[in-house]
Amino acid sequence: MELSTTDRRLIAALADGLPLVPRPYAAIGQDIGLSEEAVLDRLRALVDGGVLRRFGLVVRHHELGYQANAMVVWDIPDEHVAAVGRLLASHRNVTLCYRRLRRLPAWPYNLFCMIHGQDRDKVRELLSDMVRDLDLGGIPHTILFSRRRFKQRGARYAPDALQGAA
Amino acid sequence: MTENAQIDKIPRQRPDKLSRALIDGWQRDFPLSSRPFAEIAAALDVGEDDVLAALGQLSEAGTLSRIGAVVAPNTAGVSTLCAMAVPAARLEEVAAVVNGYDEVNHNYEREHALSLWFVVTAADEARLEAVLAEIADRTGLEVLDLPLLEAFHIDLGFPVQWS
């Protein structure tokens, strides 16, 4: 779906999330010169159009007790990557699953997924369950645990437009 | 906020019953109506004030990042995942350079020779490339650009197993 300037301003105004006030959409609208009804109409359209994959609480895994966060990367022949990607994405332990460009020779992996667990042993266990369930034993993969988190927040889609509202 | 925190040192707080219900129930399909918190409160048989207070506490604790939209990749802007092989002694310095960009929303140290991983989102391709080039230039390190080709998962939020 094609995004209007208004849509872009609305998405930018939502970067830090809804304010915790009784009528948050009215407050967002006030920041960008839209009525509450117009904000709600556009948000419904953006959700229906698939631009907003979901709308709701965005939580931080770590603070919920999921202390281990692993990016697992796989080197899968290009002709099979979509099928394996769909399989991985459907597994209950996976929260994100993307195909990305390889960068040989530095980076041979073309499929990325995220696994969150209470600790590293749990993540390793979830991964080995997955390898077994999905019969992925022969596929080269590696696991990258996170150590420090330097930044985690919503994306800024239009930094220039945001400055007035910040 | 817990930026720059050593991940393993953040104390864990167990959310109360109302907070758990909010996290379980409203990671998606958040009410698009004039009084969304009142609508949720009615569903949970509590007051609108209780819902607002619980969300305020979750936000304060850092558990709640925001109530907002998860935008599908490459619709409202363009984004990519970047990796850099940063010598251990320079990691904080380079991470600070990367964090300095408003276009960077996630930035993590990972245990790998490619030790710094971050997501860059910009309004258009030109700005995205400019940010990557600038980071490479300012740090003297190569930035590996790993753009998304296809997304496979359907984002339903994160199913928390409360222990």
Specify the amino acid at residue B43.
A
Query: Which residues, including other chains, have CB under 8 Å from residue A61's CB and lie 6 or more apart?
Result: A69, A95, A116, B158
> Any alpha helices (H) in chain A, and if so which ranges?
5-13, 24-32, 36-48, 81-90, 120-133, 159-163
Percent of chain A with pLDDT over 90: 72
Closest CA relative to residue A16, chosen from B105, B123, B18:
B105
> Quick one: pLDDT at residue B12?
54
> Quick one: pLDDT at residue B80?
96
Q: Tell me the nearest-neighbour CA distance from A6 into chain B, angstroms.
A: 12
> Quick one: pLDDT at residue B13?
61
pLDDT at A160 over 70: no
Confidence of residue B5 (pLDDT cuts 50, 70, 90): very low
Q: How many angstroms separate the CA atoms of A127 and A140, rounded?
A: 13
Compute the average pLDDT of residues A123-136.
Answer: 93
- Mean of the per-residue pLDDT values for chain A? 90
Of the partner residues A50, A94, A157, the one whose CB lies closest to the CB of residue B153: A94
Chain B residues whose beta carbon lies within 8 Å of the beta carbon of residue A116:
158
ipTM of the shown complex: 0.84
Output the pTM of the full model. Answer: 0.83
Task: Indicate the range of A44-53, A141-150, B68-77 predicted with least confidence.
Answer: B68-77
| Chains A & B: contacts with CB separation below 8 Å | 279
Q: How many angstroms separate the CA atoms of A37 and A2, rounded?
A: 21
pLDDT in tens, A9-45: 999 999 889 999 999 999 999 999 999 999 999 999 9
